Chain A
Amino acid sequence: DVQMTQSPSSLSASVGDRVTITCRASQGIKNYLTWVQQKAGKAPKSLIYTASTLHSGVPSRFSGSGSGTDFTLTISSLQPEDFATYYCQQYNTYPPTFGAGTKVEIK
């Protein structure tokens, strides 16, 4: 299985901060990567697919980049509603696999 490694596992940030989360695949996955947001006790919400394409309705402060093995999710100006856990997921190679998550907490 393709292992997805996220860093950091958690971070503290303030409203307005620029936040970057990284995700590394154990083998090349082209750009078949998604980012998912999950707030505590809630359903996941898909943010980005094909590494950089925003799902409909996702604010433009979210952006994704990368290809091959290294990917990033950037929140340009953190908002109160962005405090959540973020997961990357690859779908290039069966079975689809998720990273362990990055928890974004209020500083």
Chain B
Amino acid sequence: QVQLVESGGGVVQPGGSLRLSCEAAGFIFSDYGMHWVRQAPGEGLEWVTFIRYDGTFEDYTDSVKGRFTISRDNSKNTLSLQMDGLRAEDTAVYFCAKDLEWKSDGFSFDSWGQGTLVTVSS
């Protein structure tokens, strides 16, 4: 049974930094791409970033390029998101999500974590 547990959310001032983590269990972490998807308060879902199963490729939505960095440690089954230069519009619940397809850049999701709230406010 797939388990994804996020942590690291909190309140941060505009321009500040935060690092989110996602601990994975119940599947071979190193065989699947991973994503971060966010949801602003009262809004819908927005894909943020993806990292390939082996960490050799990553991609970002335009609004976070140059500010957010996704990474993974396959030896520790952990996904991370370093968020720098945070803005008010980054306020959201951040979910980590497992890609559907084995060793593929599929951009669809089959399992989600419970989310961690990031609030950017002065």
Binding site for B on A (CB under 8 A): 32, 34, 36, 38, 42-46, 49, 55, 87, 89, 91, 94-101
CA distance A27 to B47 in the complex (A): 19
Is there contact, CB below 8 Å, between A46 and B45?
no
Chain B residues with CB under 8 A of A100: 44
- When A and B form their complex, which 6 residue pairs have the shortest distance between CB atoms, in order from nearest? A91-B107, A96-B107, A91-B108, A98-B45, A43-B112, A96-B47
Closest to B48 in A: A95
A49 cross-chain contacts in B, Cβ below 8 A: 100, 108, 110
Q: How far is the CB of B42 from chain A (nearest CB, A)?
A: 11
Contacts A98-B47, A99-B44; A44 near B108 (Cβ below 8 A): no
List chain A residues, Cβ under 8 A from B106: 91
Flag if B47 contacts A95 (CB, 8 Å).
Answer: yes
Beta-carbon contact of B46 and A46 below 8 Å: no
Pair B47/A97 contact, Cβ less than 8 Å: yes
Which residues of chain B (100-119) have a CB below 8 Å from chain A? 100, 106-115
Number of A-B contacts (CB under 8 A): 55
Known: A49-B110, A91-B106, A91-B107. A43 touches B47 (CB 8 A): no
Q: Which residues of A contact B37 (CB under 8 A)?
A: 44
Q: Chain A's nearest CB lies how many Å from the CB of B118?
A: 16
For the complex, give the distance between the alpha carbons of A58 and B48 in Å: 26
Q: A96-B47, A97-B47, A98-B46 are in contact. Are A46 and B110 (CB under 8 A)?
A: yes
Q: Which residues of B contact A44 (CB under 8 A)?
A: 37, 45, 95, 97, 109, 112
Instruction: Choose from B45, B61, B112 the contact partner of A89 (Cβ within 8 Å).
Output: B45
Contact flag A101-B111 (CB < 8 Å), given A44-B95, A49-B100, A91-B106:
no
Residues of B within 8 A of A46 (CB): 100, 108-112
Q: Verify if B59 is at the interface (C-beta below 8 Å from A).
A: yes
Give bound CA distance, A87 to B39, whole Å: 12
B114 / chain A contacts, CB cutoff of 8 Å: 42-43
Which chain B residues border A96 with CB–CB below 8 Å? 47, 107-108
Give bound CA distance, A74 to B77, whole Å: 36
